[in-house]
Amino acid sequence: MIGLAFSGGKDSLACWYLYRKQNPIVFWINTGKTYPETLQIVDEVKAEASQFVEISSDVAKSFEINGIPSDILAVNHTEIGMGITGPKNIRVRNYIDCCHENIAMPLINACMKHGVTKLVRGQRNDETHKASSRNGDVVFGIKFIHPIEEWTKDQVLQFIIANRGELPDHYAINHTSLDCYTCTAFMNESQDRIAWTKERHPELHKEYIVQFEKLASTIKPSLKYFGVQ
């Protein structure tokens, strides 16, 4: 049984066009904080797919219980840090754990539940952030297939144009997998996403700022010792 991990971003959409004739089970993680632009792409693929599985992941609850994801951690505000320094009103965690909990493992669990033995994923080698697995690796008994591993971003976009006719407007920004508008991680790569959110979805941007300011309040006290105001 073949599955396809679909985020709504450019890479997973390209994989859909590559594999749709094979009728894969399409798996999509609904974080509860998905951008409207992504929901439109998801609806497109859902209408075409013979099997579509929506997996619910409550990011808001995860933030509350396990912490706000961050590139920089104020250790005293992490779970292990609070075991030493005492409880804090704001809890933080590294973004890798957040993605693992809310996206990676729910996807793998759903694939195993549906008997998937091969999973197509839109991962490229030239990305700044990517999983450690590579094309052909077997994880939890599932063989990962990365058909666009050697593609460039431009090749992906041109392939989508050839199959769809035009690109979604938000594919003009780097972060096309708009699956979590309150994400406070990947700061170096997310500036265009944040600017897009502020311009196109001010109400969602307000939610993001609430989380960002919480995170900033945990980091700033230490940064001043490095000369950062």
Domain extent listing, the chain:
2-226
Residue-wise pLDDT for 92-129, tens only, equals 999 999 999 999 999 999 999 999 999 999 999 998 88
Residue-wise pLDDT for 14-63, tens only, equals 999 999 999 999 999 999 999 999 999 999 999 999 999 999 999 999 99
pLDDT score, position 128: 85
Residue-wise pLDDT for 55-94, tens only, equals 999 999 999 999 999 999 999 999 999 999 999 999 999 9
Q: CA dist 42 to 35, 52, 165, Å?
A: 11, 10, 17
pLDDT score, position 35: 96
| 117 touches 143 (CB < 8 A) | yes
pLDDT score, position 225: 76
Quote the tokens at residue 47. 């209408």
Burial pattern 163-184, b for ≥16 Cβ within 10 A else e, equals eeeeebebbebebbbbbbbbbb
Average pLDDT, whole number, for the chain? 94
In whole angstroms, what is the distance from residue 221 CA to residue 2 CA? 49
pLDDT score, position 229: 62
Quote the tokens at residue 80. 């292990």
Quick one: 2-226 is in which CATH superfamily?
Answer: HUPs (3.40.50.620)
CA of residue 177 relative to chain centroid, distance? 6
DSSP string over the chain:
-EEEEE-SSHHHHHHHHHHGGG-PEEEEEE-SB--HHHHHHHHHHHHH-SEEEEEE--HHHHHHHH-EEESS--GGGSHHHHHHH---SS-EEEHHHHHIIIIIHHHHHHHHHTT-SEEE----TT-SS--S--TT-EETTEEEE-TTTT--HHHHHHHHHHHHSS--GGGGSS-----BTT----TTT-HHHHHHHHHH-HHHHHHHHHHHHHHHHHHHHHHGGGT--
